[in-house]
């Protein structure tokens, strides 16, 4: 018995039902390289997946397309979906509902999604960035107590600006509840007094190892902080959500310590320049005042010579007395200003420190602050308030101070 002839639409519909009932083709995962990539004005995406031997036409409907993945020709992906027939054209294609960029994985997708979300909310906007204090009293550090991060920060801070206090809030920087630990550390320092800057950091690692610093709760805790936060997470090439929401990103923990503190030697240099400029300004003021006085006396003498009449001499004397009184007042005022400025300069000067019994030890022009920097029988110079001692080391006592 002959089967009746089917209409073309019936044939395509029958093939579609067969494909829909196939357990593999209806729950398909396939990998390949994208070609013929096109985003239609409707929002649907048309592309082909290919390997070395074959090609498969695909479509991603607008509701399933994630722009954060930055798909384009040449990108290798793993796609999930089903094979079906477009009945009008009699062509089959891969209907993709989920895409994973090969070699990146789900964590990177989550990273980009959260990054875009927080960016749209304004958490990365520069208007919310707080300035880092130039001369902090205390710095709070949220990191592991055993890692190299805290050691690097301490070494740099003590070298640049030893006056500052470093307070550590120890946390786990990866693993379960590490994100909560980091949030607790930031909140703890915000509830303390005299904390001027917070450094949040850890060493380098993979995306998974750094994931605690990509958690949304950490980002929102950083944004909520009233104290400026420097992010020092990973190496220079590592980026986390913490970097984008913090007030400043440092490429390394050592760089974070440099950002958070001034260099004491630079401060002394600037103070010295200020002192010199003030001295020059005061000297110039005195010189100008002397010139004005001389010009005034010259005018008075000329005026007196022009009038020999006795009655005018009394008026001239009165004028002279007034001028002299005002000049004395100006001189007294200038002396007071000089005295106040001199006192300020004296308090800022390193010589004031020397006058209290301290000294500066140098070897070959370099300042010595540790017994590790000198050896027996080496020559050193000791600067006191009234001169310099040229000394030779004959004994070194090694003890903690």
pLDDT tens for 345-371 read 666 666 666 676 778 888 887 888 888
* Residue 320 resides in a domain: yes
Residues 98, 42 share a domain: yes
Binning pLDDT at 50, 70 and 90, where does residue 106 land? low
Which pLDDT belongs to residue 297?
79
Tell me the mean pLDDT in the region 175-189: 92
Q: Is pLDDT of 178 > 60?
A: yes
Tell me the mean pLDDT in the region 279-299: 83
Residues 212, 169 share a domain: yes
Tell me the mean pLDDT in the region 29-38: 89
* Residue 80 resides in a domain: yes
Residues 142, 196 share a domain: yes
Q: Is pLDDT of 33 > 80?
A: yes
Which pLDDT belongs to residue 143?
93
Residues 208, 181 share a domain: yes
Residues 249, 149 share a domain: yes
Pairwise CA distance, residues 24 & 384, whole Å: 88
Binning pLDDT at 50, 70 and 90, where does residue 139 land? very high
Tell me the mean pLDDT in the region 78-100: 88
* Residue 176 resides in a domain: yes
Q: Is pLDDT of 103 > 70?
A: no
Percent of the chain surpassing pLDDT 90: 31
User: What's the whole-number average pLDDT of the chain?
Assistant: 84
* Residue 400 resides in a domain: no
Which pLDDT belongs to residue 190?
95
Domain boundary among 222, 239, 262: 262
Percent of the chain surpassing pLDDT 70: 92
Which pLDDT belongs to residue 218?
94
Domain boundary among 103, 124, 149: 103
The range of the structural domain enclosing residue 124 comes to 109-262
Instruction: Give the model confidence (pLDDT) of 374-392 as tens digits.
Output: 888 888 888 887 888 889 8
Which pLDDT belongs to residue 121?
92
Which pLDDT belongs to residue 351?
66
Binning pLDDT at 50, 70 and 90, where does residue 197 land? very high
Q: Is pLDDT of 292 > 90?
A: no
**Tally of structural domains, the chain:** 4
Residues 341, 281 share a domain: yes
* Nearest residue to 145 via CA among 124, 166, 165: 166
Q: Is pLDDT of 12 > 70?
A: yes
Which pLDDT belongs to residue 184?
95
Which pLDDT belongs to residue 352?
66
Residues 318, 282 share a domain: yes
Instruction: Give the model confidence (pLDDT) of 312-327 as tens digits.
Output: 667 777 888 888 888 8
Tell me the mean pLDDT in the region 213-236: 91
Q: Is pLDDT of 171 > 70?
A: yes
* Residue 399 resides in a domain: no
Residues 97, 117 share a domain: no
CATH of the domain at 93: 2.40.50.140
Which pLDDT belongs to residue 368?
86
Residues 340, 317 share a domain: yes
* Residue 353 resides in a domain: no
Domain boundary among 70, 103, 136: 103
pTM value is 0.49
- Give the CB-side neighbour count of residue 390, counting CA atoms within 13 A: 1
Q: Is pLDDT of 245 > 90?
A: yes
CATH of the domain at 173: 3.40.50.10550
Q: Which residue has the tokens 């005034």?
A: 296
Which pLDDT belongs to residue 307?
58
Which pLDDT belongs to residue 310?
62
Pairwise CA distance, residues 99 & 96, whole Å: 7
Residues 251, 151 share a domain: yes
Binning pLDDT at 50, 70 and 90, where does residue 268 land? confident
* Residue 401 resides in a domain: no
Residues 331, 282 share a domain: yes
Residues 79, 164 share a domain: no
């Amino acid at each position: 018995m002959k089967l009746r002839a089917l209409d073309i639409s019936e044939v395509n519909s029958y093939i579609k039902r067969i494909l829909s009932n196939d357990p593999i083709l209806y729950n398909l995962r396939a990998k390949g390289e994208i070609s013929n990539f096109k985003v239609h004005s409707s929002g649907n995406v048309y592309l082909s997946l290919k390997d070395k031997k074959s090609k498969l036409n695909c479509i991603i409907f607008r509701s399933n397309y994630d722009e954060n993945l930055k798909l384009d020709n040449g990108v290798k992906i793993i796609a999930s979906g089903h094979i079906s027939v477009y009945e009008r054209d009699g062509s089959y294609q891969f209907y993709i509902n989920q895409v994973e960029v090969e070699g990146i994985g789900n964590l990177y997708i989550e990273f980009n999604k959260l990054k875009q979300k927080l960016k749209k909310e304004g958490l990365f906007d520069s208007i919310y960035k707080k300035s880092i204090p130039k001369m902090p009293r205390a710095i709070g550090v949220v990191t592991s107590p055993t890692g190299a991060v805290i050691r690097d920060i301490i070494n740099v801070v003590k070298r640049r600006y030893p006056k500052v206090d470093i307070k550590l809030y120890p946390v786990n920087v990866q693993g379960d509840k590490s994100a909560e630990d980091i949030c607790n550390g930031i909140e703890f320092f915000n509830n303390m007094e005299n904390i001027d800057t917070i450094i949040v950091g850890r060493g380098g690692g993979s995306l998974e190892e750094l994931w605690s610093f990509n958690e949304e709760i950490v980002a929102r805790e950083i944004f909520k902080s009233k104290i400026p936060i420097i992010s020092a997470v990973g190496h220079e090439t590592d980026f986390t959500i913490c970097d984008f929401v913090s007030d400043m990103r440092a490429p390394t923990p050592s760089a974070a310590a440099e950002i958070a503190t001034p260099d004491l030697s630079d401060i002394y240099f600037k103070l010295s320049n200020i002192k010199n400029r003030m001295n020059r300004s005061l000297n110039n003021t005195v010189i100008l005042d002397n010139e004005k006085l001389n010009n005034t006396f010259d005018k008075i003498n000329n005026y007196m010579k022009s009038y020999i009449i006795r009655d005018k001499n009394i008026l001239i004397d009165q004028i002279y007395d007034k001028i002299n009184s005002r000049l004395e007042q100006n001189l007294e005022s200038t002396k007071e200003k000089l005295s106040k400025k001199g006192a300020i300069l004296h308090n800022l000067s390193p010589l004031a420190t020397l006058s209290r019994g301290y000294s500066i030890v140098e070897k070959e022009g370099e300042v010595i602050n540790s017994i590790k920097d000198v050896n027996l029988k080496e020559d050193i110079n000791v600067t006191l308030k009234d001169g310099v001692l040229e000394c030779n080391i004959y004994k070194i006592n090694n003890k903690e101070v």
